[in-house]
Amino acid sequence: MIPLFVECTGKRVVIFGGGEVAVRKAGHFAREADVLMVSRTFRPACRMLPVQLQTLNTRTAADSELGLIIAPAFLVIGALSDQTENNRIGALCKEHGVLFNNADGKPGDIVIPAMTAGAHYTVAVSTGSGSPAVSRFIREEIEKHYPAMDAMVTLQHRLRAVLKERMTTPEVRKKILWSVLRDKTIWTTLDKSPERAWERVEEKYLS
């Protein structure tokens, strides 16, 4: 599988399921996509999300009925507690040419990674369903050790602009940018005062 970042604004994402896993999947997409959750029952948390809910027992629903829900979707997620039903939905998605992610059952076309993000960055980690715990561990380590990631992105953007104005060579720019990234003092200062961190960059790398 090739990792991609996909624009989901306005796209229909259908999640079959109303339990804990379905809630987590819905939360991943709800801020951007048009999310529809389909299930026989729903946890209270489902009603707290900005999503549509459709009550349906997939076990008794005909393929044609499910197809009407699946066909308009950009992405379908099988998050039911029944693997057989998830696999059935996956097969229908294949028939309709719709991307499918299976939370429990035969792998689909899409893997939803563990993700951490800020205003200026997104990091996604996947082990191909081999170990979700490892994905979460890596995500948590990034959040723990790099709380100033957003501030560093902003600082690097500012630094690149200054270096280009000074007509430095690509090699010199690269060396300085990487030196700043490896400077633990800059990271520590950024977490407390981005402006003081910039002053240190000026003193140490631009003077």
Range of the domain at 180: 149-206
Cβ atoms within 10 A of the Cβ of 16, count?
Answer: 28
Question: Looking at residue 146, what is its pLDDT?
Answer: 92
Tell me which H or E stretch contains 205: none
**pLDDT tens-digit series, residues 169-193:** 999 999 999 999 999 999 999 989 9
**90 and 21 together in one domain:** yes
Q: And the tokens for 81?
A: 């507690």
179 CB-side CA count, 13 A: 14
Residues of the chain with pLDDT under 70: none
> CATH number for the domain including 61?
3.40.50.720
Question: Looking at residue 151, what is its pLDDT?
Answer: 96
**32 and 64 together in one domain:** yes
Domain count, the chain: 3
String of DSSP letters for 95-110: HHT-EEEESSSS--S-
**pLDDT tens-digit series, residues 46-58:** 999 999 999 999 9
